Structure 1
């Protein structure tokens, strides 16, 4: 089994855990409308931002290793591009559909706007279980999907990135396919068609840790604002993939203690602390699973969010914190490493308990900020070093955090509503200044 196929099979086992996606659009719309009411958003602009610009559905054939042809369905939802090209990930998962893509695309619009990036929001993917296909089949599926999307994506129009069950290799295939379909004189100028590429194919050094590092930074900034010392603070992480691992590692380096982890295989805890690097090494030889890690004991998965801790980091999939489990949470801070991990009902319970939520469009925005750096690097023909990338990311994340935190305090509102207000006001300003054609 090749490395890529093995990695995809591992991540698919995590991702195929049954997670409710119904209601994601309801969640994002309620969040949007709450912020729109807060800032008295112009009704015409509210109408525009309440819908997506484009919803692309493509059905395409791919020949399998056995010679048979399968038909796949791919999606790309482009929510808004008032501030720049659409930006957002592509996921390979059986639950991919238009409703989920719409919600995720809208969140990307707010995320890129809040970060001050020259981007809009988009999202999409292919409805499939990648663990059922060989690496050669996945390559052909990816290349045929790219070809089917044709001119619906482009380095100045819509720039995909990795998401659930896609990775740097997937992005390399997309980039190569897209560039191969351009006229010869334009091929090298289109390397920034995707971000999240391998280092040797135009990728950004440090992009692998950008999202998790951003999660850590927002926790650190919150702690500084509230005179909280992270030394000895207990935190739990749901999802020990790329985001969860890096966030945990940087927190551990600041003296915080990882005491519980949950993934699709189960839950483990050790109130004395779980060594992040040791757990990571264990998962690499245990097919990605945290189960049976020798330095922790198993816990019923339904008790995970009720475990004793100071900080909770949901870094898996959406709709994980709900009215059924929000009341059990003991931590005083929720740092949303995943997109949409807290639904509206769950959030109301948390806020009533006085728990602070660092919202996803701020907390996990380090990934899209890193993608922006990669896009700039490719566009300008530059190569940035790791220390330079991390310093730029630190500065950008601090600017965003301070804006949201100060807005929240000044207006006496929660941080999610504050983040949405800032993001929507920036887009509203663009529409007011430019007008609406014709």
Structure 2
């Protein structure tokens, strides 16, 4: 059970990190939305991450000196630069980048555009990225960046100039590069911005043959990888699917362990929430509720995810989608509806002391970063609700970003070298089987069996294997240490990072 430490003073809030695609619903952070569920004394996301870390550190068997090194942020920069607006006025833009841990290189983390961005925010998310990468065995350190702007206020031309100038600042200060620091999309950014970043980096590093690997989340034609868009949502599905199979989870929740018997409510219908909903639905679960900024929608008989998404994209609201579905004027109320699996995939601090007693779900899967406060986490665990933590469950995005980085360094598309060879071997084997069985398969059957793995197949396979292994590793630590899954995930991350530091030694420490 997580032991809640002394409450620390409140500071600025942060919001969730997730991939943003221009074709999907945009997410916007509002301070009020991250306060409604929480009491004034509950800690911010940064303080929550530190509290979770400190709690797990006591059980990690890592030396005090190493723990202090892991907890601290390695490097941070704050840059300012002017941008000329269409009316001739000049505006000074403020940007940040934090590198939390360089025990592995490069460091990895998104860049967000939001008026809520500040140095403490990127510091908090950089810390979480370090632990997230370690939990899923992605050999990166953690980083995060942001520019303090509301992207809706600027033209495409202005956003390009802001992005390129920010990248130039990172280049000059050695805060970007395929072997140093590899950004990715986040709130307010997407493949377009990543293309601008890559092109700007290339102008400053003309001889770097690996320049495509300076950033991930790029369009396919710019070196992106198939499967990156849906990676985080797919990882959420894989993680919940695995936890449903654990006997101790079935005993605690009373669930059968079969996805087709589960009901799901999702808060947030952006990139992560939409794809998580799609994968739950396509694998037999019933999505009965979805919440977005303006309202929520609930139907115990189930919702058609694709039809709902198209309706919201066209109308900007769930209202008018169905006569039988209930519309919730307060979006946060969707969290309080009865369901088997609740997926907060929106902002941080959505479940706090003000509403934790109203949560009726049996499993809470954190698709967002920090949606549950420490006090609410403790209350859920006490009631037997299984909480699958953010640093494990939403790590699908960074996992597939790792695959994209590997693709860029290898300069070859996954599957290109072996697809036809695999098909040739399978065809010969199938011919032998058909001869001995005395039956010839149909053309459709043959294609299904013979089909060689393409890039998307390999990405999905790699992500699934990563999530299965990481969930089982977290489970084993939880059972061994008799702690909750969040504490277990942090323990695993701390021990892995500590092993790197202590195994290599820390030069000039003594």
Normalized against structure 1, the TM-score is what?
0.95
Q: Counterparts in 2 of 1:391-402, with a 5 A limit?
A: 391-402=461-472
Counterparts of residues 95-174 of structure 1 (less than 5 Å): 95-150=116-171, 151-174=174-197
Deviation per residue, 1:190-246 (Å, 9 max, x gap): 111000000111001010011000000011111122351121311110100110011
1:310 corresponds, among 331, 340, 358, to 340
Aligned-partner Cα distance in 1 for 2:399–2:25 = 27
Does residue 316 of structure 2 align to residue 294 of structure 1? no
- Stretches of structure 2 that go unaligned for 5 or more consecutive residues are 1-19, 36-42, 248-255, 415-454
Query: Residues 1-400 of structure 1 correspond to what in structure 2 (within 5 A)?
Result: 7=22, 11-12=26-27, 14-16=28-30, 18-20=32-34, 23-150=44-171, 151-182=174-205, 184-186=206-208, 188-226=209-247, 227-287=256-316, 289-294=317-322, 296-299=325-328, 300-384=330-414, 385-400=455-470
Residues 24 and 271, structure 2, Cα contact 8 Å, conserved in 1: no
Classify the secondary structure of the residue corresponding to 1:80.
coil
Displacement of 1:302 in angstroms is 4.4
CA deviations 1:133-166 (Å, max 9, x no partner) are 1111111111111111222111111110001111
> What per-residue deviation string (whole Å, max 9, x for no partner) do you get for residues 55-83 of structure 1?
11000111223332211100101100102
Alpha carbons of structure 1 residues 377 and 426: separation in structure 2 relative to 1, 3 Å: same
Return 5+ residue gaps in structure 1 as ranges: none
How well do the aligned residues superpose, as a CA RMSD in angstroms? 1.8
Change (3 A) 1:131 1:17: farther
Distance 1:9 1:127 in 2: 22
Distance between the aligned counterparts of 2:24 and 2:228, measured in 1? 22
Q: Whole-Å Cα distance in 2 between the matches of residues 126 and 291 of structure 1? A: 33
Output the CA distance in 1 between the equivalents of 2:354 and 2:142. Answer: 31
Deviation at 1:292, TM superposition (A): 3.7
**CA distance in 1: counterparts of 2:154 and 2:32, whole angstroms:** 20
Aligned to 2:503: 433
Contact 1:335 1:359 in 2 (8 A): yes
Cα displacement (A) at 1:19: 3.5
SS in 1 for 2:239: helix
> What secondary structure sits across from 2:261 in the alignment?
coil
Distance change >3 Å, CA 52–CA 422, structure 1 → 2? same
TM (norm. structure 2) is 0.81
SS at match of 2:503: helix
Secondary structure in structure 2 of the residue aligned to 1:89: strand
Q: Any idea what the Cα deviations from partners look like across 1:401-427, whole Å, max 9, x if unmatched?
A: 110012112221100000000010001
Shift of 1:50: 2.0
* CA distance in structure 2 between the partners assigned to 1:245 and 1:123 by the alignment: 24
User: Using the alignment, how far apart are the partners of 1:97 and 1:124 within structure 2?
Assistant: 9
